[in-house]
């Protein structure tokens, strides 16, 4: 067994009182003198039973003491070397024995016994010895007569006993140090674990199978909104109430992944996702459960970032200096500073989503999610569950663990309900309820989930007309239309067409890596006179097309797509005035003809959606 501790001092690791007691008892029983030395051969105990020959003569003069010390050292070293008790004649003529106290192969002390004789002394030898020491030989012999004469066999037995005890003491010290070291290792490991768990943003909590908290990191503390800082050792049910989900999982030692848990803390619902793993003992039985926790808000923020539920555009991205745009611009900051619902109106491709994103990004919710929902694109039967979410088992094919809806995902942010005019009548009432109560209930669920969401809706339809025709609820219309921002069509924005074109040329030049610096005058003339039924989106497509085909440094009329370049001849007739509807009809008709009546291709070329094209065909009475 190896220890990290170096230079261990006997006095630091031995119970001195016990050692003294043992030494005294041993001395009394055997009649010998006993002394314990440290690793430098300094006495650490008080010897008893020293008789005159040693105390008064041998150890009282410098020569005698020197001889004693040399003998003690020799005995201790011999016994260490041989691994046996050393029985030897000391330099002063007595019979002594020694047993080492070892630690990790190193002698840290020794217990010595002796001051006896194995046979009657030869007096002449001791008289000479007394002369060397400079003491009175007569008195020295008198003291010598008091030394016990014990058969060598018994001396060896006493030495063996001492050796046995010193070995036991060595073992005890070793065990004690090992224990201290293990405890220290444990403390270090715990400190490391505590430091590691407090540095993670994920919540971590360990609970034993009695339901008591054995560890909790600051993140878990914060996620669960706990006010009591000293909860380690307390039952979880005391902290979170008797029916909390964590206690149930801990009781059963369950293995869970990303389970959604709602905690009730002082009347407030705390949403988190949690995974759990049982803590197993060596024998495979469960000692408790470790939970990881994530705050739902943060999970959603991450999900929103990953799925792009963030708003990219700000006011700086909106190009336009026309009167209509300036009016709309002003309303962006009004809307950004208010929590009222906003209704954006304007033809398809005018920039309604761009405006919605700018409002979000300039509002106090810019750090929150921006969730866009195209109400026209959602299958009718899925709108409810997409918007409000569903619980596990709500319908065939419902995901395990359920799914949050767009309103939940937009919590603390903005939901953009695009094409709100296409929301089915039967669902409008549910939407109205959410707008009024700011709470959702998932499909197949009962729990009411509060949502803190800012609502921006948009439509390219005449919603008032839809209300009159009974296709849109009047109460919902007024609820949504608190702040109305109308974005004018591109054909009414005058010089904005040129500004946008220049802006788009710069963007595509960079994207396509083309060295194009502008457009020729005729190019601008044509695009200024075009009606742009697909608005900015169509202009975008047109410039992108031109940038791709252009070979010169400036875009020219020959780079324009045919549908725009080849304006009907009547437009060129000087002085002839034609209504915009007529121009739109001619444009739609000619494009449709070009694509042999293919709706998808025509809509794409015009830069509008298929549904918008169908609407236009109906309005303009054009047959596909």
Q: Which residues bind ligand ATP (CB under 6 A)?
A: 317-320, 346, 348-354, 418, 460, 500, 536-537, 540, 609
* Least separation in angstroms between CB 612 and ligand ATP: 7
Nearest CA to 208 among 169, 246, 181, 164? Answer: 246
- The pairs formed by 314-317 with CB atoms below 8 angstroms and a separation of 24 or more are 314/357, 314/358, 314/361, 314/362, 315/358, 315/362, 317/354, 317/358
- Is the Cβ of residue 270 or residue 500 nearer to ligand ATP in the bound state? 500
Bridge-based pairing of strands 403-404 and 389-390 is: antiparallel
CB-side neighbour CA atoms (13 Å) of 446? 0
Strand partners, 330: none
Q: Tell me the two tokens of residue 564.
A: 């725009």
- Is the Cβ of residue 30 or residue 540 nearer to ligand ATP in the bound state? 540
* Least separation in angstroms between CB 319 and ligand ATP: 4
* Least separation in angstroms between CB 380 and ligand ATP: 19
The angle formed by the CA atoms of residues 99, 104 and 108, to the nearest 5 degrees, is 45
Say which residues have a Cβ less than 8 Å from residue 168's Cβ, sequence separation at least 6: none
- Is the Cβ of residue 237 or residue 314 nearer to ligand ATP in the bound state? 314
- Is the Cβ of residue 224 or residue 564 nearer to ligand ATP in the bound state? 564
* Least separation in angstroms between CB 493 and ligand ATP: 8
* Least separation in angstroms between CB 376 and ligand ATP: 9
* Least separation in angstroms between CB 614 and ligand ATP: 14
**C-alpha distances out from residue 535 to 352, 391, 601, 616, Å:** 11, 41, 17, 14
**Contact criterion met (CB below 8 Å) for 412 and 369:** yes
**Contact criterion met (CB below 8 Å) for 259 and 274:** yes
**Calpha distance 396→484 (Å, rounded):** 40
Quick count: other Cβ atoms within 10 Å of Cβ 441?
18
**Calpha distance 560→542 (Å, rounded):** 7
Q: Which position's Cβ is nearest ligand ATP?
A: 351
**Calpha distance 442→406 (Å, rounded):** 11
* Least separation in angstroms between CB 480 and ligand ATP: 16
Q: Tell me the two tokens of residue 97.
A: 């024995």
**Calpha distance 237→177 (Å, rounded):** 40
Q: Is the dihedral of CA 339, 340, 341, 342 positive or negative?
A: negative
Nearest CA to 519 among 534, 532, 531, 503? Answer: 503
- Is the Cβ of residue 500 or residue 505 nearer to ligand ATP in the bound state? 500
* Least separation in angstroms between CB 296 and ligand ATP: 30
* Least separation in angstroms between CB 408 and ligand ATP: 24
* Least separation in angstroms between CB 496 and ligand ATP: 7
- Is the Cβ of residue 216 or residue 500 nearer to ligand ATP in the bound state? 500
- Is the Cβ of residue 47 or residue 320 nearer to ligand ATP in the bound state? 320
**Calpha distance 352→100 (Å, rounded):** 92
**C-alpha distances out from residue 368 to 298, 335, 364, 410, 454, Å:** 10, 16, 9, 8, 10
- Is the Cβ of residue 231 or residue 354 nearer to ligand ATP in the bound state? 354
Lay out the sheet containing 454-459: strands in order across. Answer: 370-374, 414-418, 454-459, 342-345, 483-486
* Least separation in angstroms between CB 468 and ligand ATP: 22
> Would you mind telling me the total number of residues written for the chain in this entry?
624
- Is the Cβ of residue 295 or residue 419 nearer to ligand ATP in the bound state? 419
**Contact criterion met (CB below 8 Å) for 529 and 587:** no
- Is the Cβ of residue 295 or residue 538 nearer to ligand ATP in the bound state? 538
- Is the Cβ of residue 160 or residue 314 nearer to ligand ATP in the bound state? 314
Give the torsion through C-alpha atoms of 473, 475, 479, 481, to 10 deg.
Answer: 60
The DSSP element (H or E) to which 35 belongs, if any, is strand 33-38
* Least separation in angstroms between CB 588 and ligand ATP: 16
- Is the Cβ of residue 75 or residue 421 nearer to ligand ATP in the bound state? 421
- Is the Cβ of residue 208 or residue 418 nearer to ligand ATP in the bound state? 418
Residue 377 DSSP code: T
* Least separation in angstroms between CB 460 and ligand ATP: 5
């Amino acid at each position: 067994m190896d220890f990290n501790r170096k230079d261990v001092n006997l006095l630091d690791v031995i119970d001195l009182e016990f050692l003294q007691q043992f030494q005294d008892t041993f001395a009394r029983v055997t009649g010998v003198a006993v002394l314990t030395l440290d690793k430098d051969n300094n006495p650490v105990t008080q010897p008893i039973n020293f008789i005159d020959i040693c105390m008064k003569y041998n150890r009282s003069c410098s020569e005698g003491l020197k001889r004693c010390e040399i003998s003690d050292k020799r005995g201790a070293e011999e016994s260490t070397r041989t691994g046996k008790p050393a029985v030897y004649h000391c330099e002063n003529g007595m019979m002594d024995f020694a047993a080492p106290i070892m630690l990790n192969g190193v002698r840290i002390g020794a217990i010595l016994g002796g001051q006896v004789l194995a046979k009657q002394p030869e007096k002449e030898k001791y008289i000479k010895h007394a002369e060397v020491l400079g003491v009175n030989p007569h008195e020295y012999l008198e003291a010598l007569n008091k030394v016990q004469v014990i058969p060598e066999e018994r001396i060896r037995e006493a030495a063996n006993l001492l050796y046995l005890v010193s070995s036991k003491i060595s073992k005890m010290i070793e065990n004690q140090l090992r224990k201290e070291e293990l405890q220290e290792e444990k403390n270090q490991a715990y400190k490391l674990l505590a430091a590691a768990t407090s540095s993670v943003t994920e919540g971590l909590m360990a609970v034993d199978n009695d339901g008591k908290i054995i560890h909790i990191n600051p993140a878990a503390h914060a996620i669960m909104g706990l006010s009591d800082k000293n909860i380690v050792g307390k039952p979880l049910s005391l902290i979170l109430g008797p029916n909390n989900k964590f206690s149930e999982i801990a009781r059963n030692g369950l293995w869970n992944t990303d389970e959604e848990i709602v905690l009730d803390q002082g009347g407030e619902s705390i949403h988190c996702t949690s995974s759990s793993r049982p803590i197993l003992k060596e024998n495979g039985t469960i000692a408790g459960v470790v939970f990881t926790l994530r705050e739902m808000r943060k999970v959603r923020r991450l999900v929103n970032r990953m799925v792009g539920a963030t708003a990219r555009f700000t006011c700086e991205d909106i190009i336009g200096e026309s009167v209509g745009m300036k009016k709309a611009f002003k309303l962006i900051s009004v809307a950004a500073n208010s929590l009222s619902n906003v209704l954006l109106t304007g033809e398809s491709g005018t920039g309604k989503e761009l405006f919605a994103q700018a409002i979000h990004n300039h509002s106090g919710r810019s750090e929150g999610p921006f969730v866009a929902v195209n109400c026209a694109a959602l299958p009718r039967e899925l709108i409810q569950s997409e918007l409000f979410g569903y619980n596990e088992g709500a319908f065939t094919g419902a995901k395990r663990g359920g799914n949050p809806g767009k309103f939940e995902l937009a919590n603390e942010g903005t939901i953009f309900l695009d094409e709100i005019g296409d929301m089915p009548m039967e669902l409008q009432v549910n939407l109205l309820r959410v707008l009024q109560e700011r709470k959702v209930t998932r499909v197949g669920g009962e729990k009411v989930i509060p949502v803190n969401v800012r609502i921006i809706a948009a439509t390219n339809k005449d919603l008032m007309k839809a209300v009159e025709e009974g296709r849109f609820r009047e109460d919902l219309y007024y609820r949504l239309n608190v702040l109305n921002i109308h974005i004018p069509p591109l054909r009414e924005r005058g010089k904005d067409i040129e500004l946008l074109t220049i802006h788009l040329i710069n963007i595509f030049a960079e994207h396509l890596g083309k060295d194009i610096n502008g457009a020729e005058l005729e190019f601008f003339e044509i695009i200024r006179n075009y009606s742009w039924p697909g608005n900015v989106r169509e202009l975008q497509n047109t410039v992108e097309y031109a940038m791709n085909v252009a070979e010169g440094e400036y875009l020219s009329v020959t780079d324009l797509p045919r549908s725009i370049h080849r304006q009907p001849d009547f437009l060129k007739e000087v002085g002839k005035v034609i209504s915009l509807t007529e121009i739109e009809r001619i444009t739609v008709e000619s494009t449709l003809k070009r694509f042999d009546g293919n709706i998808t291709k025509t809509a794409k070329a015009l830069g509008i959606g298929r549904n918008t094209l169908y609407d236009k065909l109906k309005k303009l009475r054009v047959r596909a």
